[in-house]
Amino acid sequence: MKDFAVFWGCTIQARFPFLEKSTRMVLDAFKLPHRDVDGFTCCPEKSLVNNVDHAAFVLTAARNVALVDGMGLDIVSPCTGCVSNLATVKGELKANPVERTAVNGLLKAAGKEFKGNAKLTHLVPFFHDSVGVFAIKQRIKKDFSGMRLAVHYGCHMMRPSHALRNDDPLDPKKFDNLLAALGAVSLQHPTKLQCCGQGLDRVDQHDNALHMARVKLKELKSLGADGLVLCCPSCFLQFDNNQFLMEKEGEKFGIPIIYFTELLGLALGYTAEELGMNSHRVDVEPFLEKWKRSPLVAGSGTIDEALNAVVAF
Amino acid sequence: MLGAALNIKLLEMCSKCGACYSICPSCVNLPGYDPREVIQDIVAGDWEKWLLSKSIWQCLECHYCLEMCYQHYGFENAMTAMRAVATKRGIFPVQVKRGWEMFAKTGKLGEPAMPARKKMNLPAPAASGGEELKKIYALLKEKRRGQG
């Protein structure tokens, strides 16, 4: 496997360092060749930067990609927005040699060149494709059999598909497959692919953001979900923080929000505390309690067993 | 100004189609949001009135419309173009302005939370490339001024 730089992005490091912690723990657990790289900036965030200055958006992303191009590394990120923005610009520059030449003219002053060789992957498709469900199953100490979990992909994990090309943009499967590998039932629900709505909080429309969170959380409550699994800091902010704010106002949903790396970390045998899950704002105890009570089912010990247990997809 | 950023021919078809309407998360959940109205006004050349509307900021840029679109165009493009014109005229939601200013100053939208990192035993964060980005962004602005 090629070495890769982890692109942490601004939000995880500024607001959710515990998500960095659990990500590092699962990357280390599988001995994946990751490293931190000096010199990254914001990816940049599309709604704040692209709306103001498209050329700045392109230049910033191109510089980040050029940085790893120069080191012969790929990028893996636990943030969907970062991957999507970087990949969008990479696609635009690969398709437009005139724009690429202009951007490289500017990057040259910093001793960099955008080539677009680096592969840009989100952590979920990365675990699915490069680690694989068999390797994951073999490492499971206790799976999530009997747990009813909902997956929220997050729009930018697979869209825009022309830039990311990692799953079906209208009917993605990889996150569901990983959940199945971890033994959980992935609940099919109408708003599964609906945008979380956190973007509305960034344009001074907090009530609309809460409304979008409410629609999804109500649905999950009525379905009796034990938790919502996601892997995007923006979606996490929307469903953990905004759910907490609504609970403070007396609207109780009680849906614990679990980051993919936390779910995987728990299955590998790390404790919730080690993974930093006590930093969530919505209580994760109901989820952990139910899991503790469920019977112990370890992962399949051999490849043959793993092959027999694999879900058809 | 808007015509240069958009393909009006495609938008004409777009205004009569609406394949993306029933899947757009804002169309489904936010009463009164209908990008088809904005697009019809863009096609008719009567779009100025939308610059002050909060509608143009309600597109979540989820790219769902892009995936549903027969032309792989989507009304997201129209909304992005409208927002670009609005910001050029200084019409921003406060948070967008604040976010942009922080980005322009530091190259980031937030700095690593140091006390929490220490508590969690996380390694020192990698160095930021903010200063270098500022330098090449200054070159871009200089180049623009030269092109007048």
Please state at what angle helix A54-69 crosses helix A97-107, rounded to 10 degrees: 70
Give the nearest chain A residue to B122 (CA atoms): A21
Share of chain B above pLDDT 90, in %: 82
The answer to whether B8 contacts chain A (CB < 8 Å) is no
Report d(CA A86, CA A45) in Å as an integer. 10
Residue pairs spanning A and B at CB distance below 8 A: 174
Give the nearest chain A residue to B134 (CA atoms): A60
Report d(CA A251, CA A302) in Å as an integer. 46
- Asked if the Cβ–Cβ distance from A52 to B96 is below 8 Å, we say yes
B97-141 confidence digits (pLDDT tens):
999 999 999 999 999 999 999 999 999 999 999 999 999 999 999
Which of A20, A203, A204, A216 to probe the B interface (max B CBs under 10 A)? A203
Q: Model confidence at B73, in pLDDT bands (50, 70, 90)?
A: confident
What is the structure's pLDDT at B82? 95
Domain map (residue ranges) of chain B: 8-88, 94-147
What is the structure's pLDDT at A312? 39
Count how many residues are written for chain A.
313
Residue given tokens 């903010």 in the structure block: B130
- Asked if the Cβ–Cβ distance from A14 to B109 is below 8 Å, we say yes
The answer to whether B109 contacts chain A (CB < 8 Å) is yes
A14-49 confidence digits (pLDDT tens):
999 999 999 999 999 999 999 999 999 999 999 899
Domain map (residue ranges) of chain A: 4-123, 132-309
Q: Model confidence at B85, in pLDDT bands (50, 70, 90)?
A: very high
Report d(CA A90, CA A62) in Å as an integer. 7
Q: Which residues of A touch B54 (CB under 8 A)?
A: 203, 205
Structure tokens at A250: 């007396």
Class of domain A132-309: alpha beta
Give the nearest chain A residue to B88 (CA atoms): A52
Q: Which residues of A touch B83 (CB under 8 A)?
A: 51
Structure tokens at A137: 């199953």
Share of chain A above pLDDT 70, in %: 95
- Asked if the Cβ–Cβ distance from A10 to B28 is below 8 Å, we say no
Report d(CA B138, CA B131) in Å as an integer. 11
Please state at what angle helix A97-107 crosses helix A80-95, rounded to 10 degrees: 110
Q: Which residues of B touch A106 (CB under 8 A)?
A: 136, 139-140, 143
Q: Which of A257-261, A288-292, B75-79 has the lowest mean pLDDT?
A: B75-79
Which of B110, B130, B139, B20 has the alpha carbon at shortest distance from A234? B110
Which of A33, A25, A133, A153 has the alpha carbon at shortest distance from A84? A153
Residue type at A192 in one-letter notation: K
What is the structure's pLDDT at A13? 98
Residue given tokens 């971890």 in the structure block: A182
What is the structure's pLDDT at A310? 45
Please tell me the number of Cα atoms within 13 Å of A50 on its side-chain side: 20
Residue given tokens 């490091």 in the structure block: A13
Q: Model confidence at B2, in pLDDT bands (50, 70, 90)?
A: confident
The CATH number given to A4-123 is: 1.20.1050.140
Count CB-CB contacts under 10 A for residue B123.
Answer: 9
What is the structure's pLDDT at A302? 52
Mean predicted confidence (pLDDT) in A224-237: 98
What is the structure's pLDDT at B147? 83
Q: Model confidence at A311, in pLDDT bands (50, 70, 90)?
A: very low
Structure tokens at A237: 């902010």
What is the structure's pLDDT at A300? 56
What CA dihedral angle connects B85, B87, B93 and B95, to 10 degrees? 140
Q: Which residues of A touch B80 (CB under 8 A)?
A: 50-51
- Asked if the Cβ–Cβ distance from B107 to A41 is below 8 Å, we say yes
Mean predicted confidence (pLDDT) in A136-163: 96
Share of chain B above pLDDT 70, in %: 99
- Biggest distance spanned by C-alpha atoms of chain B: 59
What is the structure's pLDDT at B131? 98
SS (H, E, C) chain A: CCCEEECCHHHHHHHCHHHHHHHHHHHHHCCCCEECCCCCCCCCCHHHHHCCCHHHHHHHHHHHHHHHHCCCCEEEECCHHHHHHHHHHHHHHHHCHHHHHHHHHHHHHHCCCCCCCCCEEEHHHHHHHHHCHHHHHHHCCCCCCCCEEEEECCHHHCCCHHHHCCCCCCCCCHHHHHHHHCCCEEECCCCCCCCCCHHHHHHCCHHHHHHHHHHHHHHHHHCCCCEEEECCHHHHHHHHHHHHHHHHCCCCCCCCEEEHHHHHHHHHCCCCCCCCHHHCCCCCHHHHHHHHHCCCCCCCCCHHHHHHHCCCC
Count CB-CB contacts under 10 A for residue A3.
Answer: 13
Which of B60, B72, B83, B91 to probe the A interface (max A CBs under 10 A)? B60
Mean predicted confidence (pLDDT) in A276-299: 92
The Cα-based distances of B118 to A20, A259, B112, B123 in angstroms read 13, 21, 11, 8
Closest to B132 (Cβ–Cβ): which among A36, A39, A47? A39
Give the nearest chain B residue to A276 (CA atoms): B120
Residues 68-87 of B with CB under 8 A from A: 68, 72, 80, 83-84, 87
Is the ipTM reported for this complex over the cut 0.90? yes
Residue A178: burial class (beta carbons within 10 Å; 0-12, 13-18, 19+): buried
Q: Model confidence at A295, in pLDDT bands (50, 70, 90)?
A: confident
For A109-119, b/e burial (b = at least 16 CB within 10 A) is ebebebebebb
Residues 34-53 of B with CB under 8 A from A: none
Residue A290: burial class (beta carbons within 10 Å; 0-12, 13-18, 19+): middle
Mean predicted confidence (pLDDT) in A67-71: 97
